[in-house]
Amino acid sequence: MTYGKSVTVSRAAAYQRNRNVVSIQPSRKGFGPVANVVVIVLILCLLGLVYLTQITKTNALGYKVSELQTQQDRLSEEHDGLELDAVRLQNLERVKNSAVAKNMTETQPTAFVTN
């Protein structure tokens, strides 16, 4: 078999019936334009969901902090009132036990005229 005949035979095998002569090679690997848009939209939705979750959590904590601040203010006012009452009661005991109070005489109840 000569060289020319072997080349012709190999070409003839390629051109037989129901055979593709052209092989299609993918020109690029990756997503198409529609898939890229879908992926970008999904990523944006996910980022939006994370953002909303964080904002909601921050607002919930803000309400809790506001409630605790109100409670602290109320307890501080109650503490100040109790301190004032304690000082007032201590002063009455001091006055009763003082030397001046011991030297005083007790008064008798007075009668009122009724009609």
Can you list the residues of the chain whose pLDDT is less than 50?
none
DSSP state at residue 115: -
What is the reported pLDDT for 23?
Answer: 65
Q: Cα separation of 111 and 107, whole Å? A: 12
- The pLDDT of residue 92 is 73
pLDDT score of 112 = 76
Q: What is the pLDDT of residue 81?
A: 94
* pLDDT of the residue at 13: 55
